[in-house]
Structure 1
């Protein structure tokens, strides 16, 4: 890619043009454009290294030029061509707009504009201060105050104009929120953002949709990043002296130095408001956003020994993962069962859009039924009022139970007498056999009347396996030489615990399915904790470096889940 530091310059102004190639640290050949409408100031600066963001390591190679336009107008810079690893890459064409300069003291303006790139240090310039001005991390939220359950967008980004490697020391903490990751950061991929007139390389650290679970002042803890920065300390000073040295290709004494600096975001305070009590519907169950609802029957007619399915679809934007199945008023004669839940959300929008479908199986006795409208209430964050919506009523019919296959044998009329005679003979034979068996049994038991026959004790109910045994393997691996095994062992132990407690089929259990099951059991807090544990463990398992993820915190959260499940399930 070709990255100009400016796209609009004045005739006497220099700017920086950087060509960056990711995924390699060396090139077989590099051909720069001719720069026919520009004057090249000094030699090209070639650098290579690694970019490390969010635990991902990516190699890069860059070529940096300082250019000054020769004329005014809309000037183009042709593509640079690079050959590496058998591939030929071409950069996009760059357009630079050269306009008239503002009338000021020319010497002062020229000296001010002829600045070194930010990775150069002048004599006496403080390295750490320069790093702080040109490398920092920011955390932003789209609102400082919201209601319980209202969507909150939080974004964490790293900005740099330097040759640096960054590693996350402390990830942002979202205690008190349900969390959905909206956009996964891509290794080594950055965008360009202008801040205070300067162009920065911008790396996405994390972008999440948060849903507050409790009222009060909730804190989003800081993210901490350690940065290793390479700087060039030059003996030449800024301005005309340095530019003259470059123009004359004089040797400038340079020393490469490395500095390490920890940057962090400030803690973010969010004021979370309770949902209003006024006009709160009785059937309100925590949905916050804007929604629609519709219901339909899979079939409008079925037999009494078959089951029907009511599909209820809640669609809209808001805290869709926290939406529970609406209460259905079933007519007499109907028995309903636990719903199956399917959820689809669009993570590219904020608040997230999506749909949640509840498939509710039920059985009924023979008859004609009218199912009343399904009522659903939510808090509208736009109007800040409660809204109640409902579906149409549904009609269906339940027929008699289907007869078992096979019909009674119909005998011809002339065979009835023969059949009756045979039946009588059969009864006589069967009666005689029964008497013989009865006499034999009496003789057998009289012979053994003095023997004591032990009575087998009634089978005792098997007690539930203690919760701590499911995570015993993870505890053993926590401080062992192979401590990275702790994370998959903890996930597997918790999953086996929930399979045991909820009596699930092993082959059908996934992390996402367990989230839905916990929500169906009204264990919303435990569902959010489980999602957080899965997220942290997977990051630790797949990161090429060791992240600062507390195993003790993971164990505490695991114990909270198991305690909540055991307390609130039979």
Structure 2
């Protein structure tokens, strides 16, 4: 009896579930679905039309399937109103453009919509995409076939490879490339489009002689190892099609195939420590003048790296050696890169700024440039000679004013300087006279003169802190540089304050280096950089 009751209850439960599913299915209407073409070629498009007899509510798109190998794009919606036997009929037509990207046989799943609380779905349709080479026929344009050529099939990590794009045509009419729609596959690469002039040539495909026209070239530098895919992408092409006397333009999407590239890791044998990743064959040249300069003045030098290889990713030459009391800054300059055969050639310049901080004979060190040569599969290191300078005293770390001397040693008196000196002397005498008169009046009244105390250490720091805040408020970089320079110099001479510093000495050295890089090395300092330095100084305890 108990088993019979269980079976009855179980049967009732399944019936309820079946009934709910049937009701839910009944609530989902199937719309009339039409695919204009059941077979297309790669790069060709067809139209998917969905017609729905609907109410007055808004039509909401709930689900659009993604099909690998097809591109399904919404094109638009059109409403229709008709009067049939005195009754109003309302319908909606939704259109989608379906483009074949890869050869294959596809099924486009139903698209789902919602209106007035009810769900509507399209019918599943089938589509065949033929001709994986992407050949298309475009009326007067004749046969069009895309082609991608990789300059190499196997490279080392960091070694450039050229990817060239072509169109092969039968020459049946004028063809125009309107735009690059999709860029090449670039996962695992650094990509740069580079100018290259390559004339048209003839190519034979499937027994047909076609004109091969170069479209564009990309330089790719692999940033990871393994088997990588590149090439691909698409362009929008228009070709003229003549119909009797009149001509019309046909537009098509041309899709390019991808290619496989094997990227090898750089060998560990002989690899320098902290190798920066330069790959190719290079030369290095150092240029600077040997004229004597003053201490704290700058000397500019130029390093030129020239050759073939990964010029887009060339690292700065490494500085080594030299005296401790000289500062050396390196900034990347111009790049001149072009195509040479199946690789890149050109040169990259670097500007070196040297700031000696003492007089005498100064050695500013030398530069090295390690690189890996794929041709002989080994590492090499280029070296410059030492930068040797003769430095005389009298230089200053900032602008100065004084008398100029010519080569004979005679003083060139500037009238402006003389006028300033005269005004200073007159002002000093006037101040002394006024003070003496005031002092005489005070003594005659029997008052005592209060001696002014020398400026206290805390007063100096407060003044510097005010100047620092003022320079930030005014966004005055000159005042900021001078104030920070004075603060750092003042902190170095205050042993009690130095002991209280929360910022280590090397942090203060970094701040000083940033100031020198901006003042002497041609660098830039943003408002955010100024605020960061100001905050570091205030947190250090210098002003407490």
Which TM bucket (shorter chain)? 0.3 to 0.5
- TM-score by length of structure 1 reads 0.43
- Higher RCO (CA < 8 A, seq sep 6+): 1
Larger Rg, first or second structure (1 or 2): 2
Q: Which protein is richer in strand relative to its size?
A: 2
- TM-score by length of structure 2 reads 0.45
